[in-house]
Structure 1
Amino acid sequence: MSAAPRRRGGRQVLAVGGQVRFRGLRWQVVGLAGQRVHLVADEGEEVVLAGHLFADPTFSLIGPEAGGKAEAAPQWGLFETAPAPARERALAWRRHIREVETGHPDGADAGYVVHERYDPERYTLAEREQAKAEELTALGFGKVSRSTVQKMRLDYRKQGLWGLVDHRTTRAPSLAGRTDERVVAAVKEAIRRRRGRSKGTVKALLPAAARILAERHGDAVAMCSQATFYRLVAALTDPREDNHGRGDGVPGPGQGRAFTPTVALRPGEQVQVDTTRLDVLAVFDDATLGRPELTIAVDVATRAILATVLRPASTKAVDAALLLAEMAVPHPARPTWPDVLRFARSSIPHREELLTTDERLHGAAARPVVVPETIVVDRGKIYLSETFTAACQSLGVSVQPAPPRAPTAKGIVERTFGSINTLLWQHLPGYTGSNILERGHDVEQHACYSVAQLQDLLDEWLVHWHHRPHHGLRHPVLPKTRLTPMEMWGALTAVCGYVPVPLTGRDYLELLPVRWLTISDHGIRLEQRTYDHDLLGPHRGQPSPIAARGGRWEVHHNPHDLRQIWVRLPGWDDLVEIPWIHRDHVHQPFDDRTWDHLRTTALRRGDHHQYEADLAQALDDLQRRSSAGHATRTEQALLTRAMPARIPHPTRTGDDTAHPAQPGREDRAGPPRRQGAAGRTTHRPSAGGGAGACGAGTDGWEDIESLDALDTEPDTGQWPDDEDDGDSDSWTDEWGGEQPGSPSPAPLYTGLGLWNAHQEAERW
């Protein structure tokens, strides 16, 4: 029976290197020249016309007639990746394919007798394929058709053994698995929108993808679970541009190392304090961008963030000292906050008893109030300074410096910084990431919040933090239930008790840095500044009663606002405020860095009085140029970072320790008025005025009433403005009456609602 050449695409195929049977011999094609075919065999060579060769009844193709290609080389490396059953099945198929083509399972060169049903001399290729299909079906390969045998044979010629492998066993799983394609599209869109921004966590993408899905399909498509979402993000994100960090509970490289855990059994037993730069760019007052510094205090027992201080520039020791006072008093709720964020609406145990014990909690935010016993700090200079240690000593707080090179000693506060980044900062515009590799493109163009706005956001977010379940807080009776910091504080307070700590404005002044100076005939000199007032008249040139200090007087100053100081004088219970002699010419607060800059740039001429006047004039010119936008970048940076520290206002009480009497109001409690050296009526500057001067001082000492006008500023949810508006005629009486020049009566500003110590002692 004659054999025809293999047809592909309707034409005969014969290539160099192929083997043919012709006239009973085995020939190899070594050349093609036009219609001539050059054949070589053991018996010799021969040149045959192609038409005569194809028409000869003894002609047939041997082996790979499709394209004349020899059997493909086995891809053993790729073949080994297939499962063992798939490899065994592929090897079995190879024997059957060879038998179809050559008549023997081991190939034409095996030298064995050709199987009768697969003899190429007797049967065509199609007949041999049909016979093999029937045989494989009988052997249990399933229902095999001739087309299946033909496909396997062609795959074997193209890919070798790899073509016979069942690729369903080697197919890579789908990136999305069985997740809805609409959900996958929403996740891809969320990743695309996040591309180019600073690195964030995968958890932050979940609400973004959910919003995209809701915008496109509404409620028709449900969002996948959090675990599925994590797998989708890991599969769909290109590793080369991966900008997503690990989520909560997924330890990164180097994490999870063993260390001794910190244990505290009562609120305030150990409080960890630390300072770090924010990973968010803020817009300063001069329209420049920078990363403010954040200082927080975290209670170990309750994981509560007791107090925060946000500063544009480097944090000073006075900021850390005032942080101590903020821990022990309730934080006021902003007027614009919903009632659910107030302490009176919280659901902690013994809430009514706490409200009865401490009346300040009625208007306070739903945040724990803790008096620290021990504070763990690092070895930064602000925490080892005399100002901070003295403040801790005055409040009865023990300071415990962390060991050198031991970051786990303050592990809780360090981890809290990471939580604030994950839960708050990374969602704000201007987020920079924790390092330069995680920073997105054009981050500066997205920054839009000021330092004050960031502080407001942080204050409100802290209330939500204290009502969020924490992994490290467990109840002894319900160990599998996570508690919130507020619930843990309520549970521990019910056991340990709660003692209100009354603090007045005088207490905040006591926490300011102390200098020991002399009182000369010209007043008190401090770094080329002269502070003077008639109250210093009897003490000029006199030594102080404290002999241990060599006759020097105790002077408190605020490094963020140098327009006044406070001196402890004999006969006065409180610190007395003494203004700078040039305060009338400087209407905005300035810090020590700005003053040092002026001292290095201003030329000195004349005596020290003339030099001080020149410095005051230079300071006024600098502030005016800054307001007009004509200051240099260095000068703008100095003034921007001179934002006053946030010092709370004292409580409105009738006692003189909280609010001394004003001149002309003898019916109020307080010491009698005194006649100053100039013969005019003066009075003891109030602690309220002192505290207000730290954050909202007045321009002139002559207008004593303006000090109390600051204390009655309406509570608008913002801290008092530090810039004088020049309107000293309009003020509101603190007792509720409207004074001439006041446009409308304003509600009393109660600040933190600080208690009066004497009234509290009488009530108890």
Structure 2
Amino acid sequence: MTGTVLEPGTKVRFEQRIWTVVMLEGACARLIDANDSVATVLVNFLFAAPGFEVVGAPRRGVAPFGLLEELPEQVRERAQAWERHVREVETGVPVPGQARVPRAGFDPARHTMAEREAAKAAELTAAGQPTSAVTVRRMRARYREHGLWGLVDGRAVRRRSPVGRADERVVAAIVQALEAQRERSTGTLSRLRRVVGWILEDAHGVGVVKVPPVTTFNRLVHALADGQGLLGTAAQRRRHSSRPAPPFTPTVVLRPGEMVMLDSTPLDVMVVLADGVTGSAELTIALDVATRSVCAAVLRPVGTRSVDAAIMLAQMVTPLGMRPGWEAALAMSCSVIPYERLVSLDSRLRGAAARPVIMPETVVVDQGSVFVSASFVAACESLGVSVQPAPPANGPAKGHVERMFRTIGDRFSQYVAGYTGSDVTQRGTDVEDEACWTLPQLQDLLDEWLVADWQHRPHASLRHPLAPKLALSPNEMWAALVGVTGYVPVSLSADDYIELLPVKRLGINDYGIRFDYRTYDHEVLNPHRRHRSAAGDGMWEVHHNPYAPQQIWVRLPGGWQEVPWIHRERVSLPFTDFTWRHIRAGVERRGERDEHERQLAHALDRLLRRADNGEGSRRERTVAARAGAAAALAPAMPSQEPPGLLTAPTLSYGLVGVFTPTSLDEADDEEFEDGWEEDGEPLGGPDDAADGCPEHERPAAAVPVRSRPSRIYDAVREAAQW
């Protein structure tokens, strides 16, 4: 409160009533109102209360001196001149504190306020600034209420409308048209002008409100839309709409693994899948924010599946082994990483490449089905990893990994044969002919580049905790932080890898387990046929691998048991889920489901054989080539050998995507994903299992299919080290 004193007898407005101050004691004021109600209030609370004021002495605020500095010099000087005139009228001297004798006509001891106001108006009029006594009185009142800011010419600080004096109906129609085209394809201003005309005709009638001329209309549109994401191409508008609302807070991480970002993007390189068939590749990476280390990088031909995201977690905690042909300088033992101390804690680091092993605490993912799937969330829970989904359509929430994708494109992809550019406008004419690397070869090249270049390149955002001016590489930053945060090796058992696979809840019927037009059966299921599990729904937990559908894993009371597909001997070559779905889309069902399943297996085998011999359509060769790429990249996984089962096939975690058809009948699909047989009872007695299917019709123990050696890790060997 400026220029006002609170003392006994002062009347104040508080809590929408008029009070009289009767006593001041320390920091408290005692008040009494017209009804003799008494209140004791802290003075600080009284002054801060909404609506408080001293009656007859309105509260004056401090002049906004910062805004005064922004005014044009001429406007500021005019306000300061009026301040001197007002002070002279009120006190007799234009500048307080200067011991001067008041001029004639302005001495408060000899002239009234009205006379001094009239004298000042006459003086200003004679000086060429016509002014009346009423104007002088008004300026005095504004000065008392607002100080110097009250004397500023209001026209200089008045906010101007961006549309000027345009018709409000036209402005509303333009805004409506702009909002309507926010999600539409790119158009022109002439189309927008016609749309505005139609809106005005519908709202006000034909010819009532005219559309402004083209120049005026374009100026109005830019005044309303510039910076709002309502103009420009469709891509520009999408980028603006996906931009999150500020304010932004920087991401602060203090230790490796505290925050790891996962994301996928198409790699701008064409690869050779098989038999000369080329295709694009997709890259999924896990980036540690604290050290900017790429903990894992996975390539596959098309699409991302949840099993890939789950395997990313396993790769992050598994050391990257040195590959044949790599320089010895890329080994961890030759890097700045404290190898000797770490290898004494984790023997797996012997022969490892110079890429840190980082156990994530929190992973940041987008809203894609890959990273919010049940299998990925379950994998994170089993490893004690917290999943943090980023807001939808919010690229900056994963800015670190998005920038890493750009770096890979700039420093790696454009130097690889078959580079396509970031979009079709940058693509060459013979990119498919330039492609010469297979997917496993490109994976090796990418891993080598990450170890040799990225992990050793100084990063401007990585600073040593004790030397902030020193930029560090990801490996150097990890070496600096690991001494503070410690290193805890994480081991995964053979069962852990099976836990990472996608899950289905299915029943065990007389014929075995059936889903996705495939039937799986083995004698290990005999004690459990037509029996409920201990789960609430009575179903059994089944894990399957989309890249190796030849077998599934069932969690039985004794642990994991591997169950083969009953027709896998009919298919002589490796296949994947997308290969199977391609066959399903083309084979019409003409009989019972058992017969239809045999027809599908026969058609699949013929497709793979034709493609392996270079025959068949381009579509068939492409599907088979993707299956071959999956098999080439699939690391060998352990098999769980149930009693009586011969040497089981390996479980392959493929690093490829899945072909998803658009013409499948989902209703038929559900028929083959059984809980219980539709004509049977959910629960059966001990003898029911034997009666359901004669023993001579049961499939014999399966002969193992061909498996590929591990390219990344072998779960049995990994588990054996612990």
Q: Does 1:296 align with 2:256?
A: no
Q: Is the 8 A contact 2:257 2:362 kept in 1?
A: yes
Partner residue of 2:630 out of 644, 662, 672:
644
Deviations 1:531-576 (A, max 9, x none): 1111111111111122x2x21111001112211111111123xx21
Secondary structure of the structure 2 residue equivalent to 1:568 = strand
Q: Superposed, which structure 2 residues align to 1:226-375 within 5 Å?
A: 259-348=248-337, 350-375=338-363
Partner residue of 1:754 out of 672, 694, 718:
718
* Residue 286 of structure 1, CA deviation: 4.2
Q: Is the 8 A contact 2:639 2:651 kept in 1?
A: no
- CA root-mean-square deviation: 2.8
Secondary structure of the structure 2 residue equivalent to 1:479 = strand
Runs of at least 5 residues in structure 1 that lack an aligned partner in the other structure: 1-253, 651-657, 663-672, 677-681, 720-748
* Residue 418 of structure 1, CA deviation: 0.9
Deviations 1:207-265 (A, max 9, x none): xxxxxxxxxxxxxxxxxxxxxxxxxxxxxxxxxxxxxxxxxxxxxxx9xx995332211
Q: Distance in 2 between matches of 1:292 and 1:752?
A: 29
Q: Is the 8 A contact 2:502 2:545 kept in 1?
A: yes
Which residue does 1:581 correspond to in 2?
Answer: 566
Change (3 A) 1:695 1:458: closer
Q: Does 1:381 align with 2:341?
A: no
Which residue does 2:178 correspond to in 1?
Answer: none
Letter paired with 2:548: D
Q: Distance in 2 between matches of 1:276 and 1:420?
A: 11
Q: Superposed, which structure 2 residues align to 1:496-507 within 5 Å?
A: 496-507=485-496
Secondary structure of the structure 1 residue equivalent to 2:598 = helix
Which residue does 1:679 correspond to in 2?
Answer: none
Which residue does 1:397 correspond to in 2?
Answer: 385
Q: Distance in 2 between matches of 1:522 and 1:659?
A: 23
Q: Distance in 2 between matches of 1:576 and 1:752?
A: 16
Change (3 A) 1:266 1:693: closer
Change (3 A) 1:694 1:532: farther
State TM-score, norm by structure 2: 0.56
Change (3 A) 1:361 1:753: farther
Runs of at least 5 residues in structure 2 that lack an aligned partner in the other structure: 1-242, 657-698
* Residue 693 of structure 1, CA deviation: 7.9
* Residue 695 of structure 1, CA deviation: 8.9
Q: Is the 8 A contact 1:470 1:484 kept in 2?
A: yes
Partner residue of 1:691 out of 638, 641, 651:
651
Q: Is the 8 A contact 1:509 1:690 kept in 2?
A: no
State TM-score, norm by structure 1: 0.53
Q: Does 1:552 align with 2:512?
A: no
Deviations 1:626-679 (A, max 9, x none): 1122221222222223343755446xxxxxxx887x8xxxxxxxxxx84x4xxx
Secondary structure of the structure 2 residue equivalent to 1:279 = strand
Change (3 A) 1:314 1:701: farther
Q: Is the 8 A contact 2:635 2:654 kept in 1?
A: no
Which residue does 1:571 correspond to in 2?
Answer: 558
* Residue 426 of structure 1, CA deviation: 0.7
Partner residue of 2:459 out of 470, 482, 492:
470
Q: Is the 8 A contact 1:295 1:310 kept in 2?
A: yes
Q: Superposed, which structure 2 residues align to 1:738-749 within 5 Å?
A: none
Q: Does 1:631 align with 2:620?
A: no
Partner residue of 2:595 out of 591, 607, 610:
610
Which residue does 2:163 correspond to in 1?
Answer: none
Partner residue of 2:429 out of 430, 434, 441:
441
Q: Is the 8 A contact 2:364 2:389 kept in 1?
A: yes
Q: Is the 8 A contact 1:331 1:364 kept in 2?
A: yes
Secondary structure of the structure 2 residue equivalent to 1:365 = coil
Q: Does 1:622 align with 2:629?
A: no
Letter paired with 2:556: L
* Residue 503 of structure 1, CA deviation: 0.9
* Residue 365 of structure 1, CA deviation: 1.2
Letter paired with 1:538: P
Q: Distance in 1 between matches of 2:398 and 2:352?
A: 29
* Residue 356 of structure 1, CA deviation: 0.2
Letter paired with 2:443: Q
Deviations 1:5-49 (A, max 9, x none): xxxxxxxxxxxxxxxxxxxxxxxxxxxxxxxxxxxxxxxxxxxxx
Letter paired with 2:593: H
Q: Distance in 1 between matches of 2:328 and 2:262?
A: 30
Q: Distance in 2 between matches of 1:450 and 1:427?
A: 16
* Bigger mean CA deviation after superposition, 634-643 or 387-396: 634-643
Deviations 1:260-306 (A, max 9, x none): 33221100110011100011111221423221110000000000000
Q: Distance in 1 between matches of 2:411 and 2:700?
A: 46
Q: Does 1:429 align with 2:393?
A: no
Q: Distance in 2 between matches of 1:280 and 1:374?
A: 31
Q: Distance in 2 between matches of 1:297 and 1:345?
A: 24
Change (3 A) 1:455 1:474: same
Q: Is the 8 A contact 1:320 1:388 kept in 2?
A: yes
Deviations 1:134-189 (A, max 9, x none): xxxxxxxxxxxxxxxxxxxxxxxxxxxxxxxxxxxxxxxxxxxxxxxxxxxxxxxx
Which residue does 1:508 correspond to in 2?
Answer: 497
Letter paired with 2:480: A
Letter paired with 1:644: A
Secondary structure of the structure 2 residue equivalent to 1:581 = coil
Q: Is the 8 A contact 2:494 2:719 kept in 1?
A: no
Deviations 1:401-459 (A, max 9, x none): 11123211101100101111111111111111112232233222212111111111111
Q: Distance in 1 between matches of 2:432 and 2:386?
A: 42
Secondary structure of the structure 1 residue equivalent to 2:542 = strand
Change (3 A) 1:597 1:544: same
Q: Is the 8 A contact 1:468 1:485 kept in 2?
A: yes
Q: Does 1:595 align with 2:580?
A: yes
Secondary structure of the structure 1 residue equivalent to 2:470 = coil
Change (3 A) 1:482 1:753: farther
The number of equivalent residue pairs is 433
* Residue 339 of structure 1, CA deviation: 2.0
Secondary structure of the structure 1 residue equivalent to 2:599 = helix
Partner residue of 2:443 out of 445, 455, 476:
455
Q: Distance in 1 between matches of 2:614 and 2:420?
A: 28
Q: Is the 8 A contact 2:310 2:379 kept in 1?
A: yes
Q: Distance in 2 between matches of 1:500 and 1:449?
A: 35
Letter paired with 2:588: L
Which residue does 2:86 correspond to in 1?
Answer: none
Letter paired with 1:329: T
Letter paired with 1:413: V
Point out which structure has higher relative CO (alpha carbons under 8 A, 6+ apart): 2
Q: Distance in 1 between matches of 2:495 and 2:612?
A: 33
Change (3 A) 1:545 1:752: closer
Q: Distance in 2 between matches of 1:644 and 1:535?
A: 29
* Residue 336 of structure 1, CA deviation: 2.9
Which residue does 1:219 correspond to in 2?
Answer: none
Secondary structure of the structure 2 residue equivalent to 1:445 = helix
